[in-house]
Amino acid sequence: MSHKPYTGAAGGWAALASTAKHLVKSENVAKNLKTLLKTNQDHGFDCPGCAWGEKGNRATFRFCENGAKAVNWEASSRRVNAQFFAEHSVAWLAKQSDYFLEYQGRLAEPVVYNSQSGHYQAIAWDEAFQLIAKHLHRLETPNQAELYTSGRASNEAAFLYQLFGRRLGTNNFPDCSNMCHEASGYALSSSIGTGKGTVTIEDFEMADAIFLFGQNPGTNHPRMLETLAHATHRGAKVVAFNNLKERGLERFANPQKPAEMLSGGSSPTTSHYFTPKLGGDMAAVRGIVKVLLARHQQALLHGDRVFDLNFIKQHTQGLESYLIEVEQTSWQKIVEQSGLSQAQIESAADIYHQSDRVIIAWAMGITQHKHSVATIHELTNLQLLFGQIGKDGAGLCPVRGHSNVQGDRTMGINERPSSAFLESIEQVFGFTPPKKPGHNVVQALTAMLKGKSKVFIGLGGNLVAAAPDTALSTQALANCELTVSIATKLNRTHVTPGQQSLILPCLGRTDVDEQLAGPQRVTVEDSFSMVHASAGLIDESREHMRSEPAIIAGIANAAFGASPVDWLSLVEDYDRIRDLIEQTIPGFERFNQNLQQPGGFYLGNSARRRIWNTATNRAQITCHSLPENIISAEVRALSDNRIFVLQTLRSHDQYNTTIYGFADRYRGIYDEREVLFINPLDIAELGFKEGALVNIETLWADNIERKVKGFKLIAYDIPQGNVAAYFPEANPLVPLMSKGDLSDTPTSKSVAVVLTTSADSEIAIALS
């Protein structure tokens, strides 16, 4: 039986045991242990796991189980070189699992795809750079190139990469955040005039209440558990809204606290837990506002108030039309769409009302829906009604994913750069960068599918596996004249070559990066806008690997020579890249000096200072109606069967498309990934049995069959009508054109599906 409900707390001995197991598996135990102790410390490297931040003085070591897995995984002593590719054809590799591909070790030598032999073979670095330059020069327009970025790239690499792209003449910078927090950036920019969160880590120590929407920190931001446990311990309320009962949101034993570990104790991470339906959070928040509006109107009768009228008057715009919309939204609609009762919503409103300082945090459960921008506007409205932005212990906190995804945007990885940014590029580098907006991920894939874009370069990441509609994304890459991957580990994208293809092996964050001026540091920015240095420590034979900045400089130099900068000399000493960042981007004054500060420096946040960089110079209270339905009438008309809403999420043993193992401990899954979490009542109503295998088929009005087969039903605490499966196994089900309004983010948390029994089902039950 592979499903055994987990009864322990998150963290604790099980987390330490798992860390140890992964250390041993890496075949590099002593070295990796030493490395782990340097994670997130001054003079060490930034954890390549998540983007959670640390307090200013990083005197004690901080890493978590999943950070340890990320470090171990990168520090593998196995190598993938030309010999490996001589032994394995691309066709054979394409049939292997994502786990198998990455497990083969670190990419160690540049290789080029030979379509005649069907194998990758060795190529010299300079030849690889020339090949890329040749393809770029051959394009009819620079907008036929797609320059993808995954959020691990350092600030220095990202800055050079965007400069290279703009010199080429395109803003085609699709990046992982298009599939991630795009809606947060869009919604926050339009309502409060900055795309970033307004809180710092210190605010979590002052908040009276922390509301968490659609986030699973036990797995994806484990260091946040400590912050939450600490908050509940001092009496703050932590209120979770999550479609599933997640263990890490219930209890946490802190592996960094010996007493708690020895006594077998643990701390609650949340005080209240609500399980809304998928996509139901906007309705839930609308309900909270509706309760508080009624109280406000009552209070006014007695000359009192509930909303912060001074703040509203001084700082906001849009109150009236929003309140009319709230009044017109019926309780029936709120209850039906949120899946929560009016009493539950009232109890959440009570906590909000009783708290002087409130933080609202969220992640993918909010951002990967059709109405994500509207939902984040709704969260922002609630905070604005109470003046909960721009004071200590309060604010908005989109919890970022990749460890430097926020920094990459700051550096200009943006398909819609601001005119101020482009003017700055022109001034510093003396050429006119393109102004036309470029492609995001969905637009880039669409252009490649139509044969309009011809060169794909990936700075990290694994686009084929991370993107929706796997079959179409695979076709998109295969259509290209040239695909280039700058990467640490072999993955699905590399075994989906274009007509020509290059894999360029790079150093990771844990590796020593030796350049002419000595070992180099890079910088990253966390979710709290703290910029700090990161220096690798592992000094193993790295064969032919090069650093990301060196690879980008090599490509740019082959394409343009020393224009507009002497690319190769910048890489000799990354201080020189930082000097250019300082000249181009506000907030990086005295960049190289400021980096010396322990813990780095704070970039600041205008909304936190109650400066609203919006069109009206006020914070915008934005008014949207609730979605008519989570599944559109058009899609509902496609089937007479019972329709479920599917979310795709991460297990405890993966980092996005990187699969470390097959256990999802906190959800009680041990040796498999092709599972479907479903309410036991739904299993019964469908006439299925727990453990049965089902086929999952998407409903989408375009006549393309999207189906995965043989997923095992797991009875789980999830609202009826909702189901969940793992990313990336379920990506073939997400239609490329099912995307967020205004954000274009694939709706990975709401896909309409129907379930049918699978022929293999009988056999599986007999065997178990």
Ligand X SMILES: Nc1nc2c(c(=O)[nH]1)N[C@H]1C(S)=C(S)[C@@H](COP(=O)(O)OP(=O)(O)OC[C@H]3O[C@@H](n4cnc5c(=O)[nH]c(N)nc54)[C@H](O)[C@@H]3O)O[C@H]1N2
Q: How far is the CB of 272 from ligand X (least distance, A)?
A: 13
Q: How far is the CB of 487 from ligand X (least distance, A)?
A: 3
Quick note: the x/- pattern for ligand X over 642-661, rule CB under 6 A, is -----xxxx---xxxxx---
Query: Residue 102 binds which entry of ligand X, Mo ion, none, with Cβ cut-offs from 5 to 8 Å by kind?
Result: ligand X
> What letter would DSSP give residue 732?
G
**For the CA atoms of 638, 640, 641, 642, what is the dihedral angle to 10 degrees?**
90
Residue 508 backbone dihedrals phi, psi, to 5 degrees? -105, 180
Q: How far is the CB of 507 from ligand X (least distance, A)?
A: 7
Contacts of residue 211, defined as CB under 8 A and 6 or more positions apart, other chains included, come to: 239, 241, 348, 352, 358, 359, 360, 361
Is there binding between residue 679 and ligand X (CB under 6 A)? no
Is there binding between residue 372 and ligand X (CB under 6 A)? no
Span of 172-180, 338-346, 561-569, 621-629 interacting with ligand X by CB under 6 A: 172-180
Which of 68/291 has CB closer to ligand X?
A: 68
Query: Residue 49 binds which entry of Mo ion, ligand X, none, with Cβ cut-offs from 5 to 8 Å by kind?
Result: ligand X
- Residue 619, beta-bridge partner list: 316
Contact criterion met (CB below 8 Å) for 255 and 308: no
Q: What is the sign, positive or negative, of the torsion defined by CA atoms of 187, 189, 194, 196? A: positive
Q: How far apart are the C-alpha atoms of 724 and 730, rounded to whole Å?
A: 9
The tokens of 758 are what? 């699978």
The tokens of 61 are what? 């070591």
The tokens of 301 are what? 């009768």
Is there binding between residue 165 and Mo ion (CB under 5 A)? no
Give the total of residues touching Mo ion (CB under 5 A): 2
Is there binding between residue 731 and ligand X (CB under 6 A)? yes
The tokens of 257 are what? 């606290």
Closest by CA position to 190, among listed 373, 16, 457, 408: 373
Is there binding between residue 506 and ligand X (CB under 6 A)? yes
Contact criterion met (CB below 8 Å) for 607 and 199: no
Span of 165-173, 597-605, 689-697, 727-735 interacting with ligand X by CB under 6 A: 727-735
Q: How far is the CB of 548 from ligand X (least distance, A)?
A: 6
Closest by CA position to 722, among listed 689, 678, 661: 678
Is there binding between residue 460 and ligand X (CB under 6 A)? yes
Q: How far apart are the C-alpha atoms of 397 and 197, rounded to whole Å?
A: 5
Span of 137-145, 390-398, 483-491, 518-526 interacting with ligand X by CB under 6 A: 483-491
Give the total of residues touching ligand X (CB under 6 A): 62
Q: How far is the CB of 655 from ligand X (least distance, A)?
A: 4
Is there binding between residue 726 and ligand X (CB under 6 A)? no
Is there binding between residue 521 and ligand X (CB under 6 A)? no
Give the helix ranges, DSSP H, for 205-266.
Answer: 217-220, 222-233, 258-263
Q: How far apart are the C-alpha atoms of 534 and 547, rounded to whole Å?
A: 14
Contact criterion met (CB below 8 Å) for 176 and 415: no
Applying the rule CB under 6 A, the residues between 704 and 723 that interact with ligand X are none
Q: How far apart are the C-alpha atoms of 687 and 116, rounded to whole Å?
A: 52
Is there binding between residue 241 and ligand X (CB under 6 A)? yes
Q: How far apart are the C-alpha atoms of 595 and 607, rounded to whole Å?
A: 24
Which of 290/402 has CB closer to Mo ion?
A: 402
Quick note: the x/- pattern for Mo ion over 480-509, rule CB under 5 A, is ------------------------------
Is there binding between residue 68 and ligand X (CB under 6 A)? no
Is there binding between residue 82 and ligand X (CB under 6 A)? no
Quick note: the x/- pattern for ligand X over 486-505, rule CB under 6 A, is xxxx-x--------------
Which of 525/582 has CB closer to Mo ion?
A: 525
Q: Given candidates 156, 208, 226, 281, which one binds ligand X under the rule CB under 6 A?
A: 281
Q: Given candidates 18, 150, 410, 557, which one binds ligand X under the rule CB under 6 A?
A: 150
**For the CA atoms of 480, 486, 491, 494, what is the dihedral angle to 10 degrees?**
30
Angle at 334 between CA 678 and CA 389, to 5 degrees: 100
Q: How far apart are the C-alpha atoms of 426 and 414, rounded to whole Å?
A: 16
Applying the rule CB under 6 A, the residues between 379 and 408 that interact with ligand X are 401-402
The tokens of 101 are what? 């591909």
Is there binding between residue 237 and ligand X (CB under 6 A)? no
- Please provide the size of the chain in residues: 768
Q: Between the CA of residue 439 and those of 135, 416, 592, 646, 749, what are the distances in Å?
A: 19, 8, 33, 27, 23
Q: How far apart are the C-alpha atoms of 405 and 527, rounded to whole Å?
A: 9
| The 3-state secondary structure of 564-617, one letter per residue | CCCHHHHHHCHHHHHHHHHHHCCCCCCHHHHCCCCCCEECCCCHHHCCCCCCCC
**Identity of residue 150:** S
Is there binding between residue 466 and ligand X (CB under 6 A)? yes
Which of 227/748 has CB closer to Mo ion?
A: 748
Contact criterion met (CB below 8 Å) for 423 and 417: no
- Residue 239, beta-bridge partner list: 211, 272
Is there binding between residue 179 and ligand X (CB under 6 A)? yes
Q: Given candidates 48, 401, 460, 740, which one binds Mo ion under the rule CB under 5 A?
A: 401
Which of 393/401 has CB closer to Mo ion?
A: 401
For 557-577, letters b (16+ CB in 10 Å) and e give bbbbeeeebebeebbbebebb
Q: How far is the CB of 51 from ligand X (least distance, A)?
A: 7
Q: How far is the CB of 264 from Mo ion (least distance, A)?
A: 34
Q: Given candidates 180, 358, 442, 725, which one binds Mo ion under the rule CB under 5 A?
A: 180
- Residue 3, beta-bridge partner list: 669
Which of 143/368 has CB closer to Mo ion?
A: 368
Span of 176-184, 231-239, 507-515, 678-686 interacting with Mo ion by CB under 5 A: 176-184
What would the DSSP string read from start to end of 388-421? -SSSTT-EEEE--SBTTHHHHHHTT--SS--HHH
Is there binding between residue 183 and Mo ion (CB under 5 A)? no
Query: Residue 123 binds which entry of Mo ion, ligand X, none, with Cβ cut-offs from 5 to 8 Å by kind?
Result: none
Which region holds residue 198: left if phi is over 0, alpha if psi is between -120 and 50, else beta? alpha
Query: Residue 409 binds which entry of Mo ion, ligand X, none, with Cβ cut-offs from 5 to 8 Å by kind?
Result: none
Which of 50/345 has CB closer to ligand X?
A: 50
Q: Given candidates 76, 81, 242, 557, which one binds ligand X under the rule CB under 6 A?
A: 242
Binding residues for Mo ion, per CB under 5 A?
180, 401
Binding residues for ligand X, per CB under 6 A?
49-50, 66, 102, 150-152, 176, 179-180, 213-216, 219-221, 241-244, 246, 276, 278-279, 281, 363-365, 368, 401-402, 459-463, 466, 486-489, 491, 506, 508-509, 548, 647-650, 654-658, 727, 730-731, 734, 748-749
